[in-house]
Each structure stands twice: as C-alpha cells, then as structure tokens.
Structure 1
C-alpha cells in the first residue's frame, strides 16, 4: 500500500521540520507543509488534496478547528492527527471521538512527539476505508494563464453586500466581494478561484480591479447624493510593502474621494505575529483616512493587547455567534464584543443576520449595524443601484 500524503500545519519552523523528518524516517515522502490555514488551503488545492493533516489544536497562531471545517467541506482531507498538549478533560473527550470537524480523528500526539507514536497513528490510518479524494481537484484549479486572461478581460467583478442600520434598514455601507464571470462556467464564487489567485500571486492585481470598479460605483452614487462606506477584504501580508498603499492613495485622488470612503477588513488571525512593517502600513492607511476593521471577530485568537495597539476602528463579529441567540454563551459573546467596541471607541458590525428573528434579537441587545442575507444579499453594481432606489422609495 502506498504511503499517505500528509500535510504538516505548523507555524513554528523548528517544530514543523521535526515532524517532517519523522515522517520521512517512516517512509512518508509525500509531505506538504503550511504555516497557517490559508496557506494550507492553497497547498491542498495545488496538490489535489491530502490524506492526513497534522496540526496543533492549541496553537494560538492558528484557528485549527475552523481550518479543519473548511478542509472537510472542500473534500480535500480524509483524516486528522492532533499534535497538542491538552488539558486532561479535553484529552479524554477527544480520545472518545472518532471524528473531528467531519474528518476521521486518528489520535493525539503528545509533546515531545515520539517516532513510535507517529508510526502507530499512521498505521491506524486505513486508506481502503476512506472516501477517495478526487484528483480532479488539481485539474479543476484554474491555470495561471486562465486567471491572467480573466483579469485582462475584466472578468473579475465586484459584487456588493450592503451593511444596514438594524432598526431603520437604511444602508450605511457596502462590502465588495469578488466574483469571476467565467465565460464557460458562469459566475464563480471565491471558493472556486481564490486559491488559484493566491497561489499565482495575483491577489493584488485582482484587488486593484475591484477597487477601481467600487470607486466608480461610489462616484455614481455620489452624483445621486448617496454616500456609503466601501469595504474590501485584505490579508495582512498584502501590506508587507508600501506599493499597495500608494496605489490606494492614487485611486482615491483620481476619483476625488476622501480616504474615509474606504474600509479595509482584515481577518484577526492574519494580524497575529505580523511584521512591524505591516503595522506601519496599517497606520498609513488610517492616516489616509481609511477605516480598518477586524473581520470574523471571535473565531480566531485575537490578542486584546494587539487590538488596542493597532489603529482599528471597527469590529465585525462573526455570524456564527448570532444564529442561536437563545444560547447564553452566544448572547454573552455579542454583549461582550459590544462592550469592547464601545470601550475602544470602535464601530461594531454584526455579520450573519439571516432571519427576522436574529435581527429582532440583536435589536434587543442594543446592536445597531448588521450584514446578512435577511438584510440584503450580495449583488452586482446595477442591482445595487436598483436596490438603493427601491429602499429610498419605501422610506
């Protein structure tokens, strides 16, 4: 039987190299390495999936459970091995679980990791019983030539999801979301192309296309007397140098907008252990007048000290905390985040407002701004203009 393909997800270089060497000694030479969940998803797309993921459930630089959930949904992983020092009660609970995040849980490696323990868990893995990972995934990943052609022909389009006042329904901003209007496959979501864009290092080029489209639309709205905030998702690594900041500054000047028109959202995990140069470029964005938002707040491992030190002025609470507001822990998460935002003089936006019940529950808790399918779905620029016109007519 061929040895499995293993992904080692570990952000500490020394620990990662130790695991890789152990696997190689055991005859596993098909080893993929990644430093964080985003990098891991790109690597798995490029390799057409893996058999086993080795990761640390307690690593504060990684949101392991969230990554495993995404990997499981993508069908690119079969099983998981945890390399974690866990509290006794957690070790007992996991020891009785046969699966984690929809993946076969082979076991837990205690630190310091022993070679025989790795061998035992690899031996436990039975490829015959696992559902095959389709190698089609590698072929389905768009080629670099295809992505570059799509960018050159303007096939990557900005769609917009409004952010609204929960009480009045008035729009206060829109988030720009990437869509690929593929000539053969129709409108593609980021899950179908973002890994390729990242792998080919074309993420900045795509962003520049979306920024231009977004500012052009804001220009149309300005002539109609409508002023909204335009939000974009960025990864902290995109601020490793100042080139993108200069491009944003020139784009604002070209369209005659103040920096306050733009809001940039960063996933909280991407901010951990970021280089000082990235912190300086975050400051440069704020000095331009642009807003900075911590996206998907609550699902990673934000350092409150870091949150206080960096110049953010908005928190976006992840939508999973509002799906069951009848649960005390979810209500507590909402109210605690409210208190944190108020104490830091930051605006709070609640994601995942997908039903009237959730909206009413958030209003009861004193929340003001939300985003979600119940309030408005993502739409292209033309549909957004019509939606805003209908909204204004109904007021």
Structure 2
C-alpha cells in the first residue's frame, strides 16, 4: 500500500446479484467462497450489502429454522438500508469518517467500492476505523502548522526520558524575537510560513532527541547535557538565522534561548520548562541571546511570575469574569466589564493585583492583552448569537495603547467574530494616556472610528488635565470608587457633583464604580450619574454563571450565589 492508502487498496472483488435472486442461490455463493465478505444486491440500481455475518445470522434464524423459512424467498426479502458506496480513490481517513456518520445499526456493514472502470468491490470497516483512530492519535500529538510534536507529545517524550536514571538532559526553549512585528507587517499567513521554515531547520539539526512547538513562536528542543550548552544554543541561533524568503521578502530571524538542565532531584518537565522560560526571558531582557538557568535568575519574584505567565497564556490558564454595569434609573444591564483572573495550577485563582503590575513592566503584557481581547470579543459574540446583545468592556494598558498594532488587532477580532463594533468598549486609564499623550490619543481616535466606544476608567486618580480630556475621543467617564465611597460626606459629594456636571457638559456617559448599597446608588442617581457598577448590583462571575437578562435585569445561573475572589472590583482587564 501507498503512504496515503485509498479505499481501492482495501477492496476485494464482490459478486453482484439481482434483488430477485433466491436465498438458496445466495447461500450457495457464500459457501463457494469462504474468503468472501459477502455479496452486493442490486435492487433497480440501488445497491445493498449482504455481508457474511448477516447472512449466516438470518439463515440460522432465532430458533434454527431460518434456512427452511427463507430458502425460496428472493434476496429482496433480506435487504436492509442501501449500502455506503464510495469511489476507489477515497482516502481511508475520509472513508472512515463516512462510515462513522452512518446510524449505529449500519456502522459495521462493509463498504461498497466503485472503481473507475465500473467494477465493484467490497471493503471491511475495521481497518478504516483503526486507521482513523491512529491518525487522530498522531494529530493529537502533532502541531498542525509545522508537523513538529506539540506540548502533549513533549510531555510524553520527556516523561519517558526523565523517568530513566543516570542520563542528564537539557531543555532548550527558543522564542523568536519581534515575531509579532513580522505578523503585523506581512500578515499571519506569511508569519505561519516563516514558522514552518524555521521548524524545518530545527527538525534537521543534529544532536537533539526531539523538537517541539509549544505554540506561537516558541519551540523546545531536548538534548543531552554537556559543558557546551551555550555554544550549542548559539549554533542553533545561527542555523535559523536565514534569511528565509517569505512572500518575496528575505527575512533574517533573531531569537532568544533559555536552557535548563536536569540536576539531582530535579527531573520534572514542569520545572525544566519554568527554568528555561525564566532563562529565555533573561536572555531577551539582557540581550545576551542565550542564557542558562541558574538560581540567581529565580531570585526575582517578578521575573519568575512573568515566565510562568507566558506559559499560562499559552495553556489557557487566564480566565475572564464579568461584572455588570446597570442603568442608574431602571437597573437594566447596559454592559459587562471583563476582568482577567489567573487560574494558577499551584496557587489557585489569582486576582489581577498578583500579576498585572509585573506584566505591565514586560512585553508579556502584549500577549496577555491579546488573550483578554480575543476571549472577551468571542464571548460577546456568543451572547449576541444567543439573543443577548450586551456590550463588553476591556482595558487597554499603557504599553498596549502606545503600540500602533492595537488598532488592527481590535479590527481583526471584530471582523473574525462578526461582532458589531458598538458591542465592544475599550477602557483606558489616565496614566495610560499620559504615558504617550499624542500617540495614545491618535490610537483612540482610530479605534473610535471603527465604531468601538472609549471609556476613561478610574477618573480622578491620575493627572489628566481638563484640556486633554476635551481632546480625547471619549464616550464614557468612570469615576474612581475612592470618590464614590466618600460621597456621604459633603466635601466629597461636592467633588462628585462637579465631575458629573463636567461630564454632562462634555456629553459623556457618566459611570460610578464601587457602588455597594442602595443609599449610595440613590445619591449618585440624583447627582446625574447614568450608569452604576459595584457589588450592590453584582460581583464578577464566570460566563456560565450569567443567565442573561431577566425582565431587563441580570439573571444568575444555576451555580448559586455570585462571589468574587477580589476584595474590591478591579479595572477591566486588570
């Protein structure tokens, strides 16, 4: 058989009979060829399979009298549903899928195979299904884009190697530098082509047990430990340097490598990956290209947390909870705020304060925000398709807002998930705008031109001048909860009422955060606030705990009471 078997390879010739053929004649044909899988009956052009197992069953009969009762009847009396007829050129995988799509009562029936010259054959289903099962097993351990082993395959291979005794191993984690810029310039299709070319070079490098793609632009290589690991890493970087020609453009590849090695008592894949990730991040930060893990690298909690966060993003450990914002007068839900949590494998569900400050000090904030945006837009689209067109808000941290790519990222996600632009709200803080005022304002204008609404979050805690506030393309102004909590005092209430008057003058929707009781809600409503948010109306919960609107108000799913891991609600995306 060929490497890509087709159904004709499995088929054997079959005797075709007319549906009027007597059962006695059918039995004689079956007896004459013990190797035959059965016969094919033609009933006015419709083919039916009479396989050996079925014929022997009906001829024996439930009480042993089947042969005597059926002997003079025609084959038509035995026919079941029409046969599955497939061309001889059908691939085994496609044939197996067609077999499994049949009703349970017909899944075991052989397949009729039609050759180009009109001949018919018959093929058993067992080898087809077994082939499909092996194929799925292979795919489950294979990166579809590059053909390299995936994370699951890495776990299996590394587990087997680490389980042995005596052999010392090294894990090299390779991450391409500025790969997002290549995607932004040439498009994701061209970026994928570059990844395939890099993967091919890595797979051909001698001296490594296996090569894997973890996801994105990260690759893992396993090798024997040696004194020359840094030299090996630099040789690897030279091998993938290129240039590679993509869409007619020669691209030189730069990358960073982190290396971790097994030691006494340290033969766990998770530890090796974490160590290599920490070392790789240090290589990027210090521009050394290659770094070996060493204890002093782990001395920085931020660095270790950021390294783990990279893995968390790839493995889907980040989850979004949603908190409602309600109309101050009617209580109806007007939008939901997406808040990120980290479902840490060791520490449990972490609030944003545990990881976002460190993330914003590194480039990992870009990948984190991409993940939050992607998940939030996808969830909003699901709610829209389910008949609940609720807008969802996502925070844009300062380093993200300062990048030109953010406009294209948002536009691409809206298009991919077919979400109306008005159903997405981006929230920025005063500090985010003040980091790069001109560039931030320009990016916000372009985002707003898409139809996306823009809100300023935590207003009153930063240094935004009133002049700048009038220049920003804002739709909403969210007063920080610190002012809301003090609204029962005359001085603080005067400040809140002044902010409300200013927002109305700028034609902005005014939102109050941190509302925890009805008395506060009433005061804010009287002061002119349009939208309220806080634990009084609902804590952040997972999507499956939101049952959608009930008479215009938010319903809570069957999971029971709404709880949050935070002591106070955090900013969107934080």
Closer, same or farther: CA 159–141 of 1 in aligned 2, 3 Å: farther
**Aligned equivalents of 1:310 and 1:323: distance in 2?**
27
Shift of 1:353: 0.3
Find the counterpart in structure 1 of residue 476 from structure 2: 314
Are residue 274 (structure 1) and residue 436 (structure 2) matched?
yes
Shift of 1:187: 0.5
Mean Cα displacement is larger for which, 143-152 or 340-349?
143-152
Shift of 1:137: 9.1
Find the counterpart in structure 2 of residue 331 from structure 1: 493
How many matched pairs? 258
What's the secondary structure of 2:458's corresponding residue? strand
**Aligned equivalents of 2:352 and 2:338: distance in 1?**
12
Find the counterpart in structure 2 of residue 228 from structure 1: 390
Give unpaired runs (5+ residues) of structure 2: 1-297, 557-574
Structure showing greater relative contact order (alpha-carbon pairs closer than 8 Å, 6 or more residues apart): 1
Closer, same or farther: CA 389–152 of 1 in aligned 2, 3 Å: farther
Find the counterpart in structure 2 of residue 185 from structure 1: 347
Find the counterpart in structure 2 of residue 217 from structure 1: 379
Write the mapping of 1:62-141 to structure 2, written as runs, cut at 5 A.
138-139=300-301
Shift of 1:143: 3.5
Shift of 1:362: 1.5
Closer, same or farther: CA 322–137 of 1 in aligned 2, 3 Å: farther
Aligned residues of 2:337 and 2:392 also touching (Cα < 8 A): yes
Q: 2:463 aligns with which of 301, 305, 311?
A: 301
Q: 2:402 aligns with which of 240, 247, 258?
A: 240
Find the counterpart in structure 2 of residue 364 from structure 1: 526
Shift of 1:274: 2.0
Aligned residues of 1:163 and 1:370 also touching (Cα < 8 A): yes
What's the secondary structure of 1:272's corresponding residue? helix
What's the secondary structure of 2:360's corresponding residue? helix
Tell which structure's C-alpha radius of gyration is larger. Answer: 2
TM-score by length of structure 1 reads: 0.61
Q: 2:425 aligns with which of 263, 267, 271?
A: 263
Shift of 1:387: 6.0
What's the secondary structure of 1:161's corresponding residue? strand
**Aligned equivalents of 2:423 and 2:489: distance in 1?**
37
Shift of 1:275: 4.5
Mean Cα displacement is larger for which, 211-220 or 287-296?
211-220
**Aligned equivalents of 2:435 and 2:346: distance in 1?**
41
Find the counterpart in structure 2 of residue 160 from structure 1: 322
What's the secondary structure of 2:331's corresponding residue? coil
Are residue 379 (structure 1) and residue 541 (structure 2) matched?
yes
Closer, same or farther: CA 186–393 of 1 in aligned 2, 3 Å: closer
Residues 113-138 of structure 1: per-residue CA shift (max 9 Å, x gap): xxxxxxxxxxxxxxxxxxxxxxx994
Shift of 1:150: 0.6
Shift of 1:298: 1.4
Q: 1:194 aligns with which of 356, 359, 370?
A: 356
Aligned residues of 2:302 and 2:358 also touching (Cα < 8 A): no
What's the secondary structure of 1:349's corresponding residue? strand
TM-score by length of structure 2 reads: 0.43
Are residue 174 (structure 1) and residue 174 (structure 2) matched?
no
What's the secondary structure of 1:181's corresponding residue? strand
Give unpaired runs (5+ residues) of structure 1: 1-135
Shift of 1:239: 2.6
Measured on the aligned residues, the alpha-carbon RMSD in Å equals 2.2
Aligned residues of 1:292 and 1:314 also touching (Cα < 8 A): yes
**Aligned equivalents of 1:392 and 1:150: distance in 2?**
31
Aligned residues of 1:237 and 1:278 also touching (Cα < 8 A): no
Closer, same or farther: CA 222–305 of 1 in aligned 2, 3 Å: same
Find the counterpart in structure 2 of residue 347 from structure 1: 509
